[in-house]
Every structure is written in structure tokens, then in C-alpha cells.
Amino acid sequence: MMEPTPAPRPQADPATPSRRLPLGLRRLLGDPVTAGALVFLCVVAICALIGPALMGDLAEKPNFRARNMPPFSLDQGWAFVLGADTLGRSILARLIVAAQTTLGVAASAVLCSLIMGGMLGLVAGYSKGRLGTIILRATDIVMSFPSLLLALIVLYSLGPSITNLVIVLAITRIPIYLRTTRAEVMEVRQRMFVSAAEALGASHSRMIFRHIAPMVIPTLLTIGAIDFATVVLAESSLSFLGLGVQTPAFTWGSMVATGRGYLANAWWVAFWPGLAILLTTLSLNILSGWWRTWSDPHQRWRLELDRRTLKRLNRKDKTA
């Protein structure tokens, strides 16, 4: 009796590895602009985390032989590819070290404002008494002052330091998270599962932290990603004015302030940190805009149309 021939094994689809990726990540990588922004932010984050340990003392050690060295010159080594400042310090090394300070201050301010604003927003949205009204009135008082002007007054009174800078930036951003959280809580409270939990006798703390807070956190994270770029710009502005991080620490904004007096003969001292601020904020805005569209079910279809579908639709329109 002849044995049946085994069925041929299905060949592996070359596109299978890419299909294993989450749908959102595949859509993000399919957009070259958004993918480029993500790659740039990952590089900046890696440089901020491990870069200062690799640079050693290149960011602070003067080298008068390389004083005002122009960029794209390797006479003093690869670390001086972006040029040197007026004391001969490597611009590349200083950019990497300053990235840690700039992003650290911005991340700390955003995290503090997100937690404080979110907690106060939960209380203001859930409470129907006088406490919610008091929180809103205090928020209106903070919002009545321009954020940059308020930061200048406080830093001038308390003195510039990293701690005061984080506190000031966090306080000026709290109203954004508070009002957003309050609006979300007031909308979630009208849903059926919240009414059911209330009818079953759930306590107020359980209602807030178990049923309402998980519905609000994704929105706060999206706003935090969008607000991160604004905080980076605010920190750079304060450091540029001399009320931010003080020496010996430095940020991208203080590097721009240092190089503004040498724009005529050493433009690269202020150009590279300014370009780093520009590209970082631009990448954050692009990525947060993509995430805002992806998280909205009514707008997600715009991202789910890949290039081939768009080309096919364009060809049909041209032939018609």
C-alpha cells in the first residue's frame, strides 16, 4: 500500500515579521516624517541617558588650541566635528551633556504638573460642593498671569536654580491638566458603569481611582506629550534670559545665550544648540499630532490609508 505523499509545507510569507508588529507601530513606521521624528527623539533620549558618561570631561575641559574651531574639522578629533566654543570646548559634547539637563528639567516639570493637575482635576470634577469651586477659582488666578511673566517674577524673587525652575514650570502648566481632567471626569460620571458602581455602594475613593481615573489617564498622557515641547521651549527661554539653570550646569538655552555675542565670527556656537531645540520641539509636535489622530477613532482612518491605497485612489481620480 502506497503511503500518501505529505502535503507541502506553506512557505513563510516575507511580510510576516512586519505583521507581528502592533498595528499602530506599523502605521507609524509607514509614515516617513513621523518615523523620522521618532528616530530623532530616540537618539536624543539615548544621548541624554548615556551620552554624558561617554563624553567624560570634553564638555567642560578648555582646549585653547581649538578655540573657535569651525565645524566639520577633525584636526582635534571626532568630538570637534561640530566645532568648538570660545574656550575650545567641544560643541558636540556640550550638546549631549546639555540634552540631559534640558530634557530632565522638562520631564520633571511635565510629570509634576501632570500628577498635581490630574489629582486636583479628579477632585474638582467629582466633587459637587465648595471644594471643586475653590480649586477652579485658584486655577483661574494662576491662568490670569502670563506663564512666562509669572516664571520670571518667581525666579527673580527666589533665585534661579534647577529646583525653582522645575517648580515654576510645573505650576504654570497645572491648569491645563486640571481643566482637562475635570472635563473628562464630568463626562465619565454620566456613563452607565459609573452609575452601576455607585448603586452597588462603591466608596468615593474606589469610584475615583478604580473606575474614573483609568479612563482619564490616556488623555493626560497625550496632553503631556504635546505639552513637553512647550516646556522645553519655556526652559530654553528662561535659560537664555539668565534665569534658568546656572553655571557650572548648562542647557541648550544657555548655550544659545553664550553664543549670541559671537554670531559674527563663530556662528556655530549658538547655531547647533538652537537647531537642537528646533528639531526636538518639531519632532515632539509631529509625534504628538500623529498620536492625537491615532487615538481618535473618528480620525484614525486617515492614518490607516497606506501609500498604495492613496496612489490607487489618485489613479482612479485621474482616469475618471
Tell whether pTM > 0.85: no
Which residues have CB under 8 Å from 240's CB, separation 6+? 253, 254, 256, 257
271, three cell numbers: 547655531
SS3 for 61? coil
69, three cell numbers: 574651531
Amino acid at 66: A
Amino acid at 54: L
Contacts of 239-244 with C-beta under 8 Å, sequence gap 24+, read: 241/152, 242/160, 243/151, 243/152, 243/155, 243/156, 243/160, 244/155, 244/160, 244/165
47, three cell numbers: 544621548
Residue 277: how many CA atoms within 13 Å on its side-chain side?
26
List per-residue pLDDT tens for the chain, 320 residues long.
Answer: 455 555 455 454 444 444 566 766 777 777 788 889 999 999 999 998 998 888 878 888 888 888 888 888 877 778 888 888 888 888 999 999 999 999 999 999 999 999 999 998 888 888 877 887 888 888 888 888 777 788 888 888 877 788 888 888 888 889 899 988 888 888 888 778 777 877 777 777 777 788 788 888 888 888 888 888 888 888 888 888 877 788 788 889 888 888 888 888 888 888 999 999 999 999 988 888 887 777 766 666 666 665 556 566 666 666 76
172, three cell numbers: 504654570
The answer to whether the beta carbons of residues 107 and 99 sit under 8 Å apart is no
* CA–CA distance, 315 with 320 (Å, rounded to integer): 8
